[in-house]
Chain A
C-alpha cells in the first residue's frame, strides 16, 4: 500500500542554521511527490513538487528537495532558516485516481 512517513515529529533549529526534513514514501510506480507547508491557522501551501526529470527540485521561499529513488526519499532542505519558516511541513505522494497521501507532518520551531 502507498504510504508516506516523516520520521521527525518535531524539529527545532536556530535561525540562520540549515534545515533538512526527512520524507520516505512507499509506492510501486514512479512517484509524484510534493512538499506542503501549513502556518498556524492556515491551509496548506505548496512548496515544491517532483514529477520527473531533474531530481533536485527548487521551490518557493528558498526551499529545495532531492528525490532519491534508491532510498525512496524526498527530503526537504533549506540552507538558512528564517523565523517565519516555523510551521508544519507535510510530504505527500500522488497515488492513482488523483488521490494524494499526506505524511503525518513535521513541526518546525525556529529559535532566535
Chain B
C-alpha cells in the first residue's frame, strides 16, 4: 500500500557537517510537511509545500536549514552546518489538499538524527 518513505532512517554525524534528509511523498499527494520531534519541544512544524511551492517555513531556522522539492516525488531537508541541538527525529508527511480529505496527513517513519 502507498506509504511515505524517508531516507536515511538513522544518521549520526559530527557538528559542522552537512546533513540531507529525503522524503518521497505518496504519489498524487500535493502537500508535503516537515516536522521535528524532540522530547522537550514535541512535534514542531518546520516547513510545508503545496504543489511543490513552499508555503510556510517560519518554523525553520533559516540560517542553517533549507527545504526544497526538486520534483513532485522528492522533498529534501538540509542542515548546514549541523549542531548538536539539531539532534531529533525528523518526520515528513504528505496529504491531499482540497480533495475532501482535508489536511489528513500521512507520516513517514522518520529520520533519527544525532549530531555529536
Contact = CB atoms under 8 A, between A and B. Distances in A.
Interface residues of B, number: 23
B55 A97 contact: yes
Contacts of A46: 104-106
B75 to A, nearest CB: 15
Interface of B: 4, 31, 33, 42-43, 45, 48, 50, 55-56, 91, 93, 95, 97, 102-110
A49 B104 contact: yes
Contacts, number: 50
Given A94-B102, A104-B42, A99 B107 contact: no
Interface residues of A, number: 21
Contacts of A32: 102-103
Given A44-B91, A104-B42, A98 B48 contact: yes
B110 A102 contact: no
Interface of A: 32, 34, 36, 41-46, 49, 51, 90, 94, 97-102, 104-105
21 contacts: A34-B104, A36-B107, A41-B109, A43-B107, A43-B110, A44-B91, A44-B105, A44-B107, A45-B107, A49-B104, A51-B102, A90-B43, A94-B103, A98-B31, A98-B50, A98-B95, A98-B97, A100-B45, A100-B105, A104-B42, A105-B43
